[in-house]
Structures are given as structure tokens and as C-alpha cells.
Structure 1
Amino acid sequence: MKVLFILLIAFGLYIGESFQTPLDDYVRAPDSHFAWKVIRTYEQLEYTLYIVNFTSQQWLDETFSSRPIWWHYLCISVPAKITRPDSAFLLIDGGGNGDDIPKPEDNFVALTSMFAVSAGSIGIDLQQIPNQPIRFMAAVRAMDAVQEFATKLSLPVPKKFVVGGASKRGWTTWTTAAVDTERVVGAVPIVLDILNLQANLHHHYRSLAGWTFAFADYYQLNITKLTDSPNLKAMGAIVDPYSYLERYRNTKLLQIQSAGDEFFLPDNELLFWNDLQSATGGTNLLSNGPKPISAIGYKARTLNAKRRDFRLVIGDPNHPGKAIVNPVFWLTQAIGQQVVNSTKTVYTLTIANPLEGWEGFFIQVNFPGPQGTALELTTETLIIPDTYPTDDCSGDGCYGTLV
């Protein structure tokens, strides 16, 4: 697991968004189906957990979907001691409408409750994202519901939200932060780092000489064949977070990703990270913060020269839609350290080009956190040599194969 961090500091005044997209229009459109109701309450030692049945919207009608009215479980943890009354954390979670009513011991419900108690602010677990066919708008409506809920129960009403979610919910995290810049002050996208979609898809194809087996659902619908389609570019202008980089100017972003993820590559940030910094005011060096308590390097090598492949699981050649183990392990590596002055330390990690395949590496720096915890931040992942195992695809040739 590695974490990329960028602290975005705005200079001057930022007045609204400079442009509107169909995504803005859709999310802000009124929907009379919006509703919520508390269906269960759990009194716990340090917090109270409220389970809310929450209806976010109507998606088209019965001629298109067997369930056009979409509802979710909204699990709201209210700590006994609220020390940050203006803030809340919203986790965008998965699940299905056939699931049992959530309980306090459920994994992500318990996680958000822990956040609530430790942070002294309301914690929310929004479930059933996505619940097919497609789900839009629910995270923004969930913030609406939480504010109404807090008002009705005479609780402090959070005005600022930190949102987070993994994989497809990571995409939702990016776009929620883009369309609700007033309330979302922090975003924690997990795994999802395929911003600059069209360019990153080509990077993916060239790295793996095909498409990860995890793309099977999209591959079966011929979506990979549409990589160069003008419609994909037009869609990206609406839903790709890369189209909204300047809107993150006032947002603190903490990106969490897995170095061995089977969906996305460890160096996807190279196609958007610098642009993100430029769009949000550049790099700001903070010289009066806490000093690192330690730092360490990590490196891993591909198993062969066929693919620039750092996944822990890959497609089974005999069953392309299924996975087999690909034991690429990230090992610790000593780094160099040079203390320049009282506010500047330089860490270096030197890796030689491998004789075969590719080597990936990054540096992790650990900072002291509250109550003996540590904040672990990393650099971007670099991969050497800077080559690909195959030429790029174009047009229908991008259909490729699953690997």
C-alpha cells in the first residue's frame, strides 16, 4: 500500500467554478424522490449509530430499469464527544439492496465509527455504491441527508465533509469533490488513479501488452475497442476527474493506492500528477511542519520481460477472466539521507537498470501523528527502464486480449 499526498494551498480568492458541465447540471437538478428515514438505532459506549434508509434519486423509469428508484443504507455514527462540530467524514462504500440491515460490527461501519470517535466528528458509511445499472449523485445527496438528519435531531450540523472511497467509489470521490466544492474540503480516493483516462488507457495497454483480466466486464462489451473513440473523449470531458483539476484548488487530497493492484498500474500518476499541481497553484514547500521520524525505500522487479507487470494476481492463460498468483513482492531498500539544514532533508534511492524486465521503486517517509501514530507518505512510483514491451494500439486494434 502506498499513499500520495498533496497539500493544496490557494492564494487569493477562488470564486466558484469557471465552467459548467452536464455532470454539474445533473447533480444539481432537483429530484422529488430524495428522502430518508431512521430505521434502526444502536447505542454504543462511545457513540450512537443510526441506520438510515436513504433514497437518493430516480434514474430514468421502468422502461429502462427494473428498479429506477435507488435507495441506500446510510450509517451515521455520532460520537458522544463532538469536538469538531463543523466537519464530517463520508465513506462511499459498496453493497447491494439485498443486504441485511447494517450492524455496528460490520467492517466499514465499524471503521467509520472509529473515525467518528477518534476525530470527534460525525462519521458516515454510504452503502450500495454502485448498485447497477449505474449510480450517480448519491454522495452529494447523502451529505444533504446528513445535514437534514443532524438538524432534526438537534445535533451539530456538519458544513465541511471529507469524502473517501475505493475503486469505482474512488472515482465517485474525485467527482464528488469536483461538483461540491463548497462542502468537500478533503478527498481520499483509494486505488482509483486513472485520471486522464484516454492517455492512461494507452499507458495500460502498452505496459501489459493487453488488458488486465480485471477489465473482463468492459472487454466483453467491446469497450476496449473504443479506446480511441471520439465518444470516449467526449465522455471524459464530463466524468474524468482530469477535466476538473482546477476545482481541487481548495481541497486537501490524500491518494491511497496499492502497488500490486490488478486494476490499475502503480505509475498512473505520471500522466496527471504534475498537471494537478499546476492547476491547483503549484508546489508549496512547508518548512515549519513536523520532521520525519523515519524513511525507507521500496522496490520490486517484474518476473519477466513480457510485460511491465507489477500485479500480485494476473489472468490465468487457460481462463483469461480468472486470476492466478503473480508473486511480485515489494522489498525494503536502504536509502541515502542528507540533512541540508534544520528544515531540509534529502532522501535518495538509487536503482540500477535491470538486465531483464522492469524495476519499480518509491520512497516512504513517516511523520509523527497524534497519540503515537504515524502518517506514512510516499513519492510517486518510478519504473525503469522507461520503455514498454509493445507498441501502442490504435482504433479497433485496441480491442487486445486479457492478460
Structure 2
Amino acid sequence: MKKNKLAIVFIFPLFLNLLFISSFTHADLKSYVTKPDPTYSYEIVDTKDIEGCKAKIIRLTSQTWQNIVWTHWLVLLCPPEIKNSDIAMLVISGGSNRQKEPNINSLEFKVAVTVAKKTNSVIAVLSQVPNQPLFDGRNEDEIIAYTYDKYLNGEGDEWPLLLPMVKSAVRAMDTIQLVQKDTDNHEIKRFVLTGGSKRGWTTWLTAATGDPRVVAIAPAVIDVLNMKQQMLHQLECYGTFSSEIEDYTRLKIPQRMHSPKGEQLLSIVDPYTYRNSLTLPKLILLGTNDPYWTVDSANLYFPDFPAPKYLCYQPNTGHDASPTGIATLAEFFLSTKEKKSFPSVSWEISKRNVINVKWDNPEGTAYLWKADSNNRDFRNSKWESTPLKGKGKAKAKLVQPKTGWSAYYVEVRFPGSFGNPYSICTQMKVLPENTYPFKVDKENVKAIPNDTTTK
């Protein structure tokens, strides 16, 4: 009996301590975002007509971070008929602090105008996320890696760059609501967020703050959730890390993820940490040939997120958006606006590698996509499709190659409201299964040639 009491005396405080640490690290994101900042302000500097949409051009100051004032261009694209729409899409974009004005003639804005008019909703484009260049001319991943290094060295809890990136998105939502109410007496209550790469990462984490205004997200080409496992997976596939993440590997960020401080960093910036609370609809847009990641990176996180969730692979596409991805994003926004369900696609793969796919929209048609690689590196592989027979369901045999590796997924294509079809896809399947060119020394986070691999 005394032993049990002693165990409780020692274990219970330890449990409370672990619980506190977990809660504290999760709170870092939300507490930073919700912390009052008197720097926040905005000014409508111009109003223009863009193909029938009123464009309100706003100079937004979102915050002061590390003694740096963050400013952004925020453009609201307002079609003529928006009174009955309580929803807006926020497109989180990049750009430079040297930008004297937003590039409203870009393809990004042309697409946004089309979606705004088709859905009779406000589409907002937020630029300069993050503010850059910073810290002696650093940009993009250079800045993120630099701030991670600062955090891991114990130089301050607010160093991770994703914190101010998320706050800029939240301040943009605040501004959109205020401007629409003040100028048009138009009330915005709901937001769909989207962005690519670092901005896709920002999209995930903005939803992770629990902001009730965010009702759906569509992160693009950020295929690195469950980050620690993703780094190990790159090693077993490539034998090294992708050269695209050199800014991180130069500072040994993947190795430092395995330290206590690294674990704490991941609990703040890895969207996988928040997976159980992210119950809102999620459309994940990915390129099959994205040089940053592995072909099957999504398999390390997608199954663990709660529904509703949707994958859209863009074939023969790198770290970018394709017409298929843009059409799917637009349809996803429209279905969210109208509070309609996105088509449900389900699948299972038998032990004999037969994939059975089902979908609930009878107008859908299925295609099997395949690519080959002699070394399990599909970044430069060519993807080709084969139509599958069936209405509402289809099946296909996934053939294991005699040499090398083959990757497969099924796309279900639906007629869209914008004149182009949109797609929902299954996860990737790579054959042979669980066979890699390299082993991984997890303790030292490095690859070892796999002599038993004959591929």
C-alpha cells in the first residue's frame, strides 16, 4: 500500500508537469496571436474597378514582431452582388516589402476576380506573408530556419516566424470585417483560408488557433505535416534531405527536432500536433512532382486527421498550382458558402493490391494515375492516366514493377460550376511496399545504403 502511495506521490506531479508543458506549448500560438498590439492599423488607400469587381486596396499594419513593424497590402475584391453572402475567401500570399503597390494585373488576381463574381462573395488577397527580406536580406525559408535556430538556442519563445505569419492572417480577417461593415454595411462572419507553401503552413496554423470565423481551409503544396517523420522518410527515400530545404538542413534543424527544445518547437509549428481539434473541412492541394517532399508524404498525416478531409493531387505539377487545383479550390469555396457537402470519395486497397474506390456523386468519372522510378525518387517522373469504368465506383489492379518502384493514385473528376472539372483523389500507393533504397539511423538522423535492396 505504501508503494502505491509513493508511486502516486511521484507520478502524479510528473503527469501534471507533462500536461502543463503540452498546454503551454499549444498556448504559445494562440496567446501570441490574441495578444493585444497597439501597432495594428489599416488605411484604405485606393479603390479601383477590376473587371466588374470593386477592389479596395488597403495598407495593413498587422503587428510589431522582434521590433519590426509588419505591413501588408490587403486587397478586397467585391463583386456587385454580395449583400447575401456572409463568407469571404482569404488568399494568403507572399511578396516583398519593396512592393510599392499590389500587382492587381497578376494571374492570381484574375483568378480571384473570377471566383468573386461567380460566387458573389468577397475574395481578399493578403500579401507580404511573411514580411521580407529580413535579417540581412533573408527571404522565405531562410527566415524561418533562422528564427527556428534562435528559438532552439533559447533566445525567446516568440522567435518562430510562423507566429507573426499567423497573426497577419488573423489581423487581415479583422480588417476585412471592419472595412466591409464600415463601407458597405456588409457583415462577414465566415472565412475560407488558402495559401501555398509557407502560406499553406500559415493556413493550417491559423485554423489551429481555434478562431471560430475560420470554417474551412485549403492549404496547398505544404506536404510536410508530422515533420519529424517526414524528415526520416526523406532519408529512406533519397538518402539525403531534399535540396529545397537546405536552409533548414544547413542549421541542422531536422536533427535538432529530436531534442526536448525541438519537440517543443514542433508542438507549436507542426499542424499535425493540432490534428484532433481540426474538425473543419480541409482540402489539401498537392503537386505529384513537388521537389520539396516525397511522393507519398501525405500518407504520414492524412489518415490521422478527422473528416471532412479531401486530397487533390495535381499531376505533373511541382511546388505550384495547376488549373485542376484552382478549379477544385473554387468549387470547395462555393460548396462551403452554400453549406453543401463536397463529394465523398472513399477507397480501400486489398492485400492483392486491388484498389476499390467509391464516390457519392453519380457524375464523377475515375482515372488511375501511375508513375515509375528506378530509385523511388518520383520528382522528375512522368505521370500518365488511364480511365476506369464504373459509375459511383471503380476498381483497378496496382501492378508491382519487376524493377524499381511504381506510384499510383485514383482521381475522381467531377463537372464544375466554373466551366472546368474539379478533382478529389485517393492517397498514394507506392509498390513494392515498405521497401526503400536506404535505411535510417534514427539516433543520428542520417541515411545508410540498404544493401538488401535490389531495386
Higher share of residues assigned helix: 2
Letter in 1 for 2:130: P
Deviates further, 293-302 or 363-372: 363-372
1:2-39 per-residue CA deviation (whole Å, 9 max, x = no partner) reads xxxxxxxxxxxxxxxx9652111111111110111112
Q: Which residue of 1 aligns with 2:156?
A: none
1:129-208 correspondence to structure 2 within 5 Å = 129-131=129-131, 132=134, 133=143, 134=161, 135-136=164-165, 137-208=167-238
Matched, 1:262 2:291: yes
CA gap 1:350/1:60 in 2 versus in 1, 3 angstroms: same
Matched, 1:293 2:364: yes
Supply the AA of the counterpart residue of 1:364: E
Structure 2 counterpart of 1:60, from 66, 69, 74: 66
The CA deviation at 1:169 is 0.7
Tell me the amino acid that sits aligned with residue 166 of structure 1: G
1: CA distance between counterparts of 2:260 and 2:446? Answer: 14
Bigger shift: residues 389-398 or 70-79 = 389-398
Please tell me the root mean square deviation across aligned C-alpha atoms, in Å. 2.5
- Structure 1 unaligned segments of length 5 or more: list them: 1-17, 62-67, 313-327, 340-344
Q: Residue type of the partner of 2:439?
A: D
> Is residue 86 of structure 2 the alignment partner of residue 86 of structure 1?
yes
Q: Which letter does structure 2 place at the counterpart of 1:331?
A: E
- Name the aligned partner's letter for residue 310 of structure 1: F
Residues 300 and 329, structure 1, Cα contact 8 Å, conserved in 2:
yes
Preserved contact between residue 191 and residue 213 of structure 2 (Cα < 8 Å):
yes
The list of structure 1 runs, each at least 4 consecutive aligned residues, that deviate by more than 6 angstroms after superposition, is 284-288
Letter of the aligned partner of 1:243 in structure 2? Answer: T
1:187-218 per-residue CA deviation (whole Å, 9 max, x = no partner) reads 00101121111112111221111111101111
1:247 matched to 2:277? The reply is yes
Question: What's the CA shift string for 1:99-128, capped at 9, x where partnerless?
Answer: 230143122222222221111111111101
CA contact (8 A) 2:372 2:407 kept: yes
Q: Which runs of 5+ in 2 are unaligned?
A: 1-21, 135-142, 144-160, 310-342, 346-357, 449-455
CA distance in 2, matches of 1:236, 1:367: 37
Partner of 1:329: 382
SS of 1:188's partner is strand
Aligned to 2:446: 398
TM-score (norm: length of structure 1): 0.81
> C-alpha distance in 1, partners of 2:271/2:422?
26
With over 3 angstroms needed to count, the CA separation of the structure-2 counterparts of 1:74 and 1:349, relative to structure 1, is: same
Q: Is the 8 A contact 1:198 1:227 kept in 2?
A: yes
CA distance in 1, matches of 2:418, 2:77: 22
Match of 1:50 in 2: 56
Q: Which has the higher contact order (CA 8 A, sep 6+)?
A: 1
| TM-score normalised by structure 2 residue count | 0.72
Matched, 1:309 2:377: yes
**Using a 3 Å threshold, how does the CA distance of structure 1 residues 101 and 24 change in structure 2: closer, same or farther?**
same
Aligned residues: 350
CA distance in 2, matches of 1:285, 1:107: 30
SS, match of residue 98 in structure 2: coil
Q: Cα deviations across residues 337-368 of structure 1 (Å, max 9, x unaligned)?
A: 3x6xxxxx332221221122211010111123
8 Å CA contact 1:79, 1:117 repeated in 2:
yes
CA–CA separation in structure 2 for the residues paired with 1:240 and 1:161: 22
In structure 1, what is the equivalent of residue 312 of structure 2? Answer: none
